[in-house]
Structure 1
Amino acid sequence: MISRKEIQKIVDEYNLQDVKIGVIASHSALDVCDGAVEEGFRTLAVCQKGREKTYAEYFRAIRENGKVVRGCIDETWIFDKFSEILKDENQKKLRDNNVIFVPNRSFTSYCSIDEIENNFLVPMFGSRILLRTEERGEKQDYYWLLEKAGLPFPEKIENPEDIDELCIVKLHHAVKKLERGFFTCSSYKEYKEKSEKLIRQGVITKEDLEKARIERYIIGPVFNLDFFYSPIEEEGSKLELLGIDWRFETSLDGHVRLPAHQQLSLPEHQMIPEYTVCGHNSATLRESLLEKAFKLGETFVKATWEHYEYG
């Protein structure tokens, strides 16, 4: 793991009057850059060839007298692969441009976490050491952290033969490796039938199924609480709730818009919905529930400080 002293030494050489905010051009890059522009920073989007037009053209920043009047991306770098940003010469270029890198989920999906932890000598916003917790299946993933924190999460079913009520089976999609090949079932028989059907259709693989996580399904609305924690905040609460959202998932959202009888008459290849996230929508939470929501966030933050250096 790159030490804090190494990064501090790099930051000491930065021109703090000319800092840029850099991000992998995917996932939440537009949100990051929009916020950076609002805070007065110039922005850099690291693009992969064939996926750059959104950032280099459609959301390119237009400035008048230094003020952004349209878009939010000041500069784009285009590589054959996102992972090329890890090359030594590209890291040096980031440092020479005084870039603070914001590690969105695509950064850790397209680039090696080992490389990010040990060799990416660029200052990052947030905790480098916590990035690995987002990887389901790691020894100390977010389930491990939730358990250490004493926070509630769905019960894990170790053996599919023990499925006795509605469960969700979590694994990667066979073709879209960064997407989900999830499915639900309420018995071992249904588990076998659905998994075999999805394997035949090429949606999942037998190897991934053997490593899948099976959880009891929690029936209810789904809210994503978007918290931000700042250890240097001195006046207000260190924990902020920036927003709440919920996801649009294809083909699941199309399925739930069909009457029940229509769902039952679908052909075999459309019968089992997919859970690929294709968008988000904003939501609100009843004010009487907000204190409970903040308690969850505070408990999680406390656990990161207890189990990780710098939390």
Structure 2
Amino acid sequence: MGKVSKEKILEILEGYDKDNITIATLGSHTSLHILNGAKQEGFRTAIVCAKGREVPYQRFDVADEYIIVDKFEDIVNEDVQQKLRDMNAIVIPHGSFVAYAGLDNVEDKFNVPMFGNRDILRWEAERDLERQLLVNGKIRIPMKYDDPSEIDRAV
């Protein structure tokens, strides 16, 4: 199949009503913060949530719309994606989104605009790539030990 192209996402965005954007995300502990912040900024909000896991979002009243799925990875199903596109959704990805939906599914099948750079998701999801990104950026990071016996100082 191949990665979802930037051109495809821009084409989808062209059809959006820019005055009615919905901030959406996959249900997880992080979602409460994401959706609460989006509401504070005046956006409509939506959550894709596994059946039976919607209670915290209802209790805190952070989502205007609920898309209930059998399992989290259903977010990449075409019917769920179409619902998101119909509400002019911009999806905010997070670690649970990538873990549950599957990185390959997000890269290859998820035709919904997302906040941020899709290409960085793999770097964030894979520890060695993430470390390489930090090293290349000359950012100080803790030493990496392959074996606990190598540790000779506080880490």
Same fold by TM-score, threshold 0.5 exceeded?
A: yes
Q: Give the aligned residue type for 1:164.
A: D
8 Å CA contact 2:25, 2:31 repeated in 1: yes
Is residue 145 of structure 1 aligned with residue 146 of structure 2?
no
Gaps in structure 1 of 5+ consecutive residues: 61-71, 167-216, 218-311
| TM-score, normalised relative to structure 1 | 0.47
Q: 1:93 corresponds to which residue?
A: 83
In the alignment, is residue 78 of structure 1 matched against residue 79 of structure 2?
no
Q: Which residue pairs with 1:108 in the alignment?
A: 98
For this pair of structures, how many residues does the alignment match?
153
Question: Which residue matches 2:60?
Answer: 59
Determine whether 1:50 maps to 2:52. yes
More helix by share: 2
Q: Which has the higher contact order (CA 8 A, sep 6+)?
A: 2
SS of the aligned residue for 1:47 comes to: strand
Indicate the SS of the match to 2:13.
helix
Preserved CA contact (<8 Å) 2:95 2:125: no
Aligned positions of 1:263-302 closer than 5 A = none
Normalized per residue, the structure richer in strand is 1
Counterpart position of 2:125: 135
Percent same amino acid among aligned pairs? Answer: 39
CA distance in 2, matches of 1:165, 1:132: 31
Instruction: For 2:131 and 2:99, locate their aligned partners in 1 and report how far apart those are by CA, in whole Å.
Output: 18
* Gaps in structure 2 of 5+ consecutive residues: none
Q: Deviations over 1:64-95 (max 9, x none)?
A: xxxxxxxx321111112111111112111211
Q: Which has the larger radius of gyration?
A: 1
Give the alignment partner of residue 17 of structure 1, picking from 9, 16, 19.
19
The 1-side partners of 2:84 and 2:19 are apart by 16
Name the amino acid aligned to 1:39. Answer: E
- Counterpart of 1:2, as a letter, is V
Q: Report the CA distance shift for 1:77/1:118 in structure 2 as closer, same or farther (over 3 A).
A: same
Could you tell me how far 1:98 is from its partner in structure 2? 1.1
Paired residue type of 2:32: L
Q: Secondary structure at the match of 2:10?
A: helix
Residue 4 (structure 1) aligned with residue 3 (structure 2): no
Q: CA deviation at 1:21?
A: 0.9
